[in-house]
Amino acid sequence: MAFSTSDLRNGMTLDLPEGLFTVVEFQHVKPGKGGAFVRTKLRNARTKAVVERTFRAGEPLEQAMIDKREMQYLYRDGQDYVFMDNVSYDQIHVSESSLADVASYLKEGDSAVMQMHESEIVGVDLPAAVELTVTETEPGFQGDRVSGGRKPATLETGLVVQVPLFVNPGERIKVDTRTGEYLTRA
């Protein structure tokens, strides 16, 4: 869908010759001399790299239509993750590279929102926090309440996070999916 630079909004996805880019920030600039232009910061949908780009005012751009679908993670099939569309019940195989860091927060039965452009997955949205079980860590002892004391813990998905000294194997904890940090015991 074509539109003008005057219609730019944060969060829009642009289909540029270099690939898909999401608008992070934009600013209309009208210098005293010369034509107006729009200065933007764009995030590559595939690599997540942020680039700065300047467009002439009124320059036509192509908007990419991103379809967001809620899907449930079913199981792992070799190197692929199998998801089921919650509306159509279609199953799709998603490569580990398409999921990036998200895979370490997913366990069977969890839901995720897949951002799709045509048939390609360009992003995955998870809840802000997920509950995971600690499978391996040094046991805590009575009195392990040192302020700020941390130890590594391996979770059921293989993710390793720093947890307080009092967390024991078998306990469920909440982990922030944006930062990968321990939040609280569940």
Residues 82-126 have pLDDT tens digits of 999 988 888 988 888 777 778 888 888 888 888 888 877 878 888
Q: Contact, 159 vs 132, CB < 8 A?
A: yes
Res 98: pLDDT: 77
Question: What is the chain's length?
Answer: 186
97 secondary structure, DSSP code: H
- When pLDDT is cut at 50, 70 and 90, the band that residue 80 belongs to is confident
Q: How far is CA 99 from the centre of its chain?
A: 8
CA angle 154, 99, 87 (to 5 degrees): 110
Phi, psi of 89 (to 5 degrees): 65, 15
Residue with tokens 């692929």: 80
Strands 60-62 and 67-77: unpaired
pTM of the complete model beyond 0.85: no
Which residues face 130 on adjacent strands?
175
Cα separation, 186 vs 19, in Å, equals 41
For residues 37-45, give the mean pLDDT: 88
Name the helix (H) or strand (E) containing 60.
strand 60-62
Res 78: pLDDT: 86
* pLDDT tens profile 120-150: 787 888 888 888 889 998 876 656 566 667 8
Q: Which domains does the chain have, with CATH numbers?
A: 2-62 (2.30.30.30), 67-125 (2.40.50.140), 129-185 (2.40.50.140)
